[in-house]
Amino acid sequence: MSTILKWAGNKTAIMPELIKHLPAGQRLVEPFAGSCAVMMTTDYPHYLVADINPDLINLYKKIALDCEAFISRAKNI
């Protein structure tokens, strides 16, 4: 699955190597979310997504609360 944002420092290209070093468990903690490339290419039951950019985190919260509304609005841009 691809990410919805183009983001500086995107980890998509290094995911094949990075995934080898991720721990097993029920939750992945992603302290540098950015485009959420790590979350989008892994299959943990739970995620804790964080980033220093409050606007980015707010965007992800809005999407999580009402994905269909986000898609509808994005189509009109």
Tens of pLDDT along the chain (77 residues) come to 677 777 777 788 889 999 999 999 999 999 999 988 899 899 999 999 999 999 999 999 999 999 999 999 989 98
> What pLDDT score was predicted for residue 1?
62
Angle among Cα 61, 13, 8 to the nearest 5 degrees reads 55
> What pLDDT score was predicted for residue 8?
74
> What pLDDT score was predicted for residue 21?
96
How many angstroms separate the CA atoms of 62 and 2, rounded?
19
Supply the CATH classification number for the domain 12-75: 3.40.50.150
How many angstroms separate the CA atoms of 10 and 3, rounded?
9
Annotated domain spans of the chain: 12-75
